[in-house]
Structure 1
Amino acid sequence: MIHGGDALAFAREKKIDVGEVLDFSANINPYGIHPTIVRALQEEITHLVHYPDVRYQRLREDIAKKVKVQPQEVFLANGAAAMLYHCIQAMGKPVYALLPVPSFLEYERAVQAVEGSKISYYEMDGDFQVKEDILAQIDHNIDVFILCNPNNPTGKRVDAKLLDKIVKRCEQKEVIFVLDECFLEFVLEGRRYSMTESLSKNLVILGSFTKYYAIPGLRLGYAICKNAHLAERIEAVTPEWSVNHLAVKAGEVALEEVGNYLNLEEIHKQKEYLFQELQNFGFDVIPSTANFLLFYSKDSLLDKKLQEKNILIRNCSNYRGLGAGWFRIAVRLPRENQKLIGAIEEIWQKQS
């Protein structure tokens, strides 16, 4: 499995309804799609006979207003992952990238998609924290530095002062800094940690509607970029109408009518519950600022055993810097979290 969130394929394979699957493998808002978005999409169906606005002007203005930038600095794509690919392709040559590990797998794949590109890895210590020694690795040999804040899969947030230093270092060394903030809205007071107010010609910020608004099936992501040359290249490599009509409508309604509807305090309360329960099983659980937890179990088949109970968790063995026994779970609703813990308890008792 390259990514989590494969509930549909799992359900088809087991010949069950996807509603019977409890999916902890995808870090999505557990409250689901807001009813206002659902109604808007239902009403929008008849408009599918028309092409979407090729400039997505209304949605770009909505995003710009939210993150306090100019509309011309906002660029849309068919998901944040697709936008990452566009950013790398927009550089117009093979790149030498610096990536902290472990990190989202698509960073590596996006760089490798440009033939001739190379990657240098910053391997984090056991606390999975990016530290000041990263600055020494950002030099003139590097074309692009890609960082997610908070990190996926660890949930660690980079210190704000260090982020400022990274931005300045990238400017000094003429390195493009791609900062993925897709999970920042799940962090308590997350917007205060956004780097949009520090936007410079070397900084590109990625955002997404997928996680917070629970619409991964629609694919809607964006980049914030004020580098005129890079912005022009991003537009050049992005296909026309790459974002579908329904995704655009969902984004507009999400920002104009829905706003913030996630109970972050409850999410973090449930995260603490899961943290403590997983520790009680003897797992090594990594403290997280986001809506998911990374943990290590000596039982490297834990995910397979949970699948027998129609529960999915993310096997993280394919993350560089991790390995067998590492798993990630999303924070879900209380009764679902309790069901997960109950299932692990049953597995644990059988092995005792």
Structure 2
Amino acid sequence: MHRSLAATGLVAVSLSLLGACAEKPAAGDGTVAVAASDSSCEVSATKLDAGPTTFQVTNKGSKVTEFYVYAEGDRIMGEVENVGPGLSRDLVVDLPKGSYEGACKPGMVGDGIRQTLSVTGAPAKDLSDSEELKAAAASYERYVESQTGALIDKTTEFVDAVKAGEVDEAKALFPRARTYWERIEPVAEIFGDLDPITDGREPDAKAEGRDFTGWHRIEKQLWVEGDTRGMDPYADELLANVKKVVELSKEQPLTALQLAQGSKGLLDEVATGKITGEEDEFSHTDLWDFKANIEGSQAAIAALRPVLEKADPELVTLIDQRFEALDTELDQHQDADSGEWVGYDTLTKAQVKKLSDAVAALSEPISKVAAVVAASA
């Protein structure tokens, strides 16, 4: 698996810290404690049994962190993002037999402090064999197919406008094309670097020492410079990467558990990049993305609904109520006739606070979905 020299050095540090626990198996209930700091990633066990594992991630550092479980080629099996200092988050991942890496990312940048995870044996229960969970994954796969076709079409229109120098047309197409991307972003996020090079922000690119590319590079040129000079290579690369994500999504569709994690991840996207206005910092089209993330999360829950209603109908009722409340709060910022969203920079602090509170209220019950799915095999 690829990593930078800096990350390799961090891995060496983490290995020295973890030597004492490297031979320990996971707890009998399949839980693994992860103590993340600004310079270490202490995993309580690296020898795991096949099947669902719950990583209990606690941030003991001063920086916001993330925890990832990677398969070969840095394919993401599961992730938990935006774990603030002093906070804890659970990540439930269904791992078949094989070799993986767990990675803490202090500051949410770079390849992370990594530790090899070895998974052996046959799972006591196989989530992928559950007919209900298979049906949920298949239902979501159909949703992804409906979105990816439109994603390619709209991205192609956007790229064509950029390469033709049609600034106004490109600006109009920018948020519309991104709507389809944002609805299915959990799909893109499992394929290593494809998500950051396609949808990464400028500060993150600089922090990681890579070229600023993708949607937001072109966004900056359109809204800051007011033209499309020098954007042809970035536009071509954007379309190529979007098509690559679409092809990979057909080859490796999300499992039901990844789908459950993704429904929460989409809300985390809103709670961090969108709610602060830093996602679309040049165009201020954040509310388009905001709505798309929510719709994507709703689609994930809809696919899982038969499983959730059987296992925890009260949770489903609460999630429905919280989705409705968030939609009501958000939709007042959209013109009912044109479908246009107001610029995010026009919202007052009070309006942003109401949106933030509605997202937080929904995020709490959504965070329980993965555990319900893992217990439903």
Common fold, TM-score beyond 0.5? no
**Given the two structures, how large is their TM-score scaled by the length of structure 1?**
0.28
Alignment TM-score, normalising by the size of structure 2? 0.26
Higher relative CO (Cα under 8 Å, sequence separation at least 6) belongs to 1
